[in-house]
Every structure is written in structure tokens, then in C-alpha cells.
């Protein structure tokens, strides 16, 4: 291949590379104005918990309606909020009759998924183990420790079981999703007891 041919081929390679880079920049620029990337996505699906602008009284009313509408014979997910932060022992006592406890919420932190107790273990043991794990992960970060109290629980059972839990003196609010809601497909917001 002659030197002129090599220069011509290199010139075309550079032109093609520049065109590709410009095309990629143009595509990225167009996509940056897309509603899928430029704006926050709207909520798409079921939500448990208090809306940002919702008062506690309004949330309690909405939750009571969902609890009353929960089918007695079909299980679903529900958010159980205690009257105040509950110890693992109190939480375990309140939730003793429920089929499944999926997550616990402390303060305004994201929900922490929970396993079911294994043989010889109680729900209180599960709560304590998870709280110990959180404390261990915070070790060495100054004087920070996880609160040993639980504000809310996400559980799975039927409407009758949730209505029974709602009668407990340590429970403030129970909100229940429709039975077709599936774990991992709904949002969970903390409940602000001071609003």
C-alpha cells in the first residue's frame, strides 16, 4: 500500500470517528431532554404510609378505610404503625398472630427486610439480631448507634388478622394494600407521628 493510500485511509477513519462521536453526542443531548430522564418519575403503583402533605389525622382516616376494606379471606400487605417507638419484645407481642412480618422501619429510615424466625427462634430474636447487625455496621463511626426501637412494621396476612392487630393498645394505625400488591412492587413511606 502506498503512502498516499495510507494517508487517505487514515483521513477517512478520522472523519468516520468524528461523525460517530458527533452522532453519539447528539443522541445523548436529545435523550437528556426526555421526560424519562429529565423529570422525576411519578409514583407508579401502590404505596404504604403517609403522604408528604398529609396530616396524621387524614392518614389515619385513609388507613382506617383501607383496613375496613381488606378482605377477610385474602392475604395482603399492611403497614402497622405503633403509638410510639416499640421495643423488639413489644413488637413481637403485637405481631404474634400474623402470618408473616416482612420489614421493620426505624424512625424515617428505609424499611429493613426481615427473615422469618427459624426453628427455636422468636420474632423478638429476629428483631434483636437485625438491630445488632445494624449496630455492628455502625461500629467505628463515632458514637452512632441504631435505636433499639421499631416505629412501624410491614406484614402480610388477611384482613381479619390486621383488624385484630389494630385493636392492640400499642398500635396506632394499620393500613392495608389490596391483595394483588406484591412484595418489592410497592413503596413504603414512614409515618410522622408528630404531624
Give the tens place of pLDDT for each residue, 15-50: 888 898 888 888 887 777 766 655 555 555 789 999
Rg of the chain, C-alpha, whole Å: 26
Look at residue 153 in the predicted model and tell me its pLDDT.
96
Separation of alpha carbons 145 and 148, rounded Å: 9
Q: What is the pTM of this model?
A: 0.75
Q: Does residue 89 carry a pLDDT above 90?
A: yes
Look at residue 7 in the predicted model and tell me its pLDDT.
66
Higher-pLDDT residue of 141, 90: 90
Separation of alpha carbons 49 and 79, rounded Å: 7
For residue 108, which phi and psi values (nearest 5 degrees)? -110, 20
Separation of alpha carbons 69 and 18, rounded Å: 62
Q: Does residue 9 carry a pLDDT above 90?
A: no
Give the tens place of pLDDT for each residue, 46-85: 899 999 889 999 999 999 999 999 999 999 999 999 999 9
The cell numbers describing 66, all together, are: 383501607
pLDDT band at 4 (very low <50, low <70, confident <90, very high): low
Amino acid at each position: 500500500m502506498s503512502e498516499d493510500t495510507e494517508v487517505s485511509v487514515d483521513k477517512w477513519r478520522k472523519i468516520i470517528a468524528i461523525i460517530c462521536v458527533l452522532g453519539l453526542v447528539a443522541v445523548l443531548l436529545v435523550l437528556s431532554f426526555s421526560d424519562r430522564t429529565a423529570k422525576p418519575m411519578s409514583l407508579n403503583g401502590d404505596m404504604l404510609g403517609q403522604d408528604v402533605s398529609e396530616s396524621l389525622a387524614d392518614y389515619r382516616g385513609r388507613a382506617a378505610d383501607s383496613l375496613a376494606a381488606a378482605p377477610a379471606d385474602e392475604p395482603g400487605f399492611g403497614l402497622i404503625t405503633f403509638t410510639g417507638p416499640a421495643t423488639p419484645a413489644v413488637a413481637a407481642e403485637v405481631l404474634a398472630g400474623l402470618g408473616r412480618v416482612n420489614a421493620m422501619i426505624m424512625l424515617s429510615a428505609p424499611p429493613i427486610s426481615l427473615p422469618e424466625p427459624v426453628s427455636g427462634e422468636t420474632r423478638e430474636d429476629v428483631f434483636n439480631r437485625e438491630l445488632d447487625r445494624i449496630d455492628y455496621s455502625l461500629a467505628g463511626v463515632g458514637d452512632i448507634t441504631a435505636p433499639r426501637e421499631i416505629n412501624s412494621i410491614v406484614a402480610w396476612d388477611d384482613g381479619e388478622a390486621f383488624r385484630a392487630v389494630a385493636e392492640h393498645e400499642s398500635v396506632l394505625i394499620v393500613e392495608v394494600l389490596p391483595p394483588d400488591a406484591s412484595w418489592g412492587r410497592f413503596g413504603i413511606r414512614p409515618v410522622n407521628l408528630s404531624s
